[in-house]
Amino acid sequence: MKKIIFTITIISSISYSKSLVNISNNLEYIDVNVSGKKIRIHRINDTSYKLSDDFTKTSRICPPFCIQPIRPVKGVKNIEELELIDFIKTKISSHKGLLIDARTRDWYNIETIPGAINIPFTITQTNDKKIIDKLFKLLGVKIDKNGNYNFSNVKDLALFCNGLWCAQSPTFIRNIVKYGYPKDKIYYYRSGMQGWKLLGLTTQIHKVKEVK
């Protein structure tokens, strides 16, 4: 069985102090607690800074790296950076939501958004009900003795992958929706890692904890 990966508890706070490059007009940073370690999400305070890694690329072979629709499924909410930061501050800190990095494990191990857990999109492509059951239990789904799913108290999910050209999180979303996961509980961060890094926002490199 493939492994479901997770790491986090988030506690957020806002500080208002002078900075050259804020997140928004009155928000300089937020602090999050990731596996007992405080990480500060802010923007790089250097107006001459430019990306120099793979995320500077504008063109990738399509297919498979094709531009994704703004909503992978009708009824799913699209969010961008400010909404995602608010999701981290509110939904994750209250244990009502999960930020899911739907990329494969090798991508997650290199770099991710602070507070994200890794559930590779490939897990949702299985026909093995035991694996789907384990995934859904992590997401707050109740399963009765007959194997039926109860989605009444599931978590809000914010999902992302590498960027506008990445189909991994859209695939994850489509696959859980077909089992009945409520569309109004799903938020799609289409800009993904490329958009997050383009704005100079904090990223995290960490070791993975696994649930076997």
Residue with tokens 């997140």: 23
pLDDT for residue 205: 81
Residue 24: count of CB within 10 angstroms of its CB: 10
Residue 104: count of CB within 10 angstroms of its CB: 14
Cβ-contact 8, 113 below 8 angstroms: no
Using DSSP, state whether 63 is helix, strand or coil: coil
Q: Which helix (H) or strand (E) holds 192?
A: helix 192-198
**For the segment 187-200, what is each residue's pLDDT rounded down to a tens digit?**
999 999 999 999 99
**For the segment 130-165, what is each residue's pLDDT rounded down to a tens digit?**
999 999 999 999 999 999 999 999 999 999 999 999
**For the segment 172-192, what is each residue's pLDDT rounded down to a tens digit?**
999 999 999 999 999 999 999
